[in-house]
Amino acid sequence: MHKEQKIVIIDYQVGNLSSIANMLKKVGQKSIISGDINEIKSADKLILPGVGSFDYGMNKLNESGITEVLNEKALNDKIPFLGICLGAQLLTQSSEEGVLAGLGWFKAKTIKFDFSNLQTKLKIPHMGWTEVQAPKPCPLMENLIDSRFYFVHSFHFTTPDESEIMLQSEFGYPFVSALWKENIYAVQFHPEKSHKFGMQLMRNFINL
């Protein structure tokens, strides 16, 4: 049994939230799907999912009126925070996909895959199972040696600060597939679609 804690999956009308709740349930953890400020304020841990375009996601987040409380919980209270897919990209400075500023919790930016220097042009989106490498030990990757995760994306992270790099992967060339800074984790892949690897990552998040 896990310790009693309140995990809120943030609902800002972007993405399939129930699949993340189901993954948490599989590893014995209840969660709440909510966009309510008071629910988010009282959370012990937060998950920001999302699929779709960057500006659409940022607009939805801004319209929801919860960006201030997210900043407060993640940056001031420093509770564990996990961004997934688009939700991870929104934590960066900006994206080549849009014009709006991201939340800017990382120095990283989100850029499009660029295969112009490759002899073989790969198809995007990058879709399917891909291995990840951790350049340093990370609590979210506990017991995840030789792990792979399920990806669906056309954009990836790049950061001037190597200390933010949690995981790297390869698709045509090496790219940053996850970011980590103190209590904040941002993963480009979908743990909820990554079977035993995703389950272990979620267990690790629960145990932070």
Of 126, 153, 156, 190, catalytic: 190
Q: What is the pLDDT of residue 21?
A: 97
Question: How many residues make up the chain in this entry?
Answer: 208
Instruction: Look at residues 31, 36, 60 and name the one whose alpha carbon lies nearest to residue 47.
Output: 31
Establish if 88 belongs to a structural domain.
yes
Establish if 24 belongs to a structural domain.
yes
| Euclidean distance between CA atoms 24 and 205, whole angstroms | 10
> Would you call 192 a catalytic residue per the annotation?
yes
Write out the E strands in the chain: 7-10, 32-34, 45-48, 81-84, 109-112, 126-131, 148-153, 155-158, 165-171, 173-181, 184-187
Q: What is the pLDDT of residue 12?
A: 95
Instruction: Look at residues 131, 95, 86, 100 and name the one whose alpha carbon lies nearest to residue 113.
Output: 95
Establish if 100 belongs to a structural domain.
yes
Supply the CATH number for residue 128's domain.
3.40.50.880
Residue 73: both structure tokens together: 């919980």
Which residue segment(s) compose the domain that 56 sits in?
Answer: 7-206
Ordered mean pLDDT values, 10 residues apiece, the chain (208 residues): 83 91 96 97 97 94 94 98 98 97 98 88 90 96 94 95 97 96 98 96 97
Residue 127: both structure tokens together: 């879709």
> Would you call 190 a catalytic residue per the annotation?
yes
Of 2, 85, 97, 170, catalytic: 85
Establish if 150 belongs to a structural domain.
yes
Q: What is the pLDDT of residue 1?
A: 47
The reply to whether the predicted model has a pTM over 0.75 is yes
**Domain count for the chain:** 1
| Euclidean distance between CA atoms 25 and 28, whole angstroms | 5
Establish if 1 belongs to a structural domain.
no
Of 126, 153, 164, 192, catalytic: 192
Establish if 2 belongs to a structural domain.
no
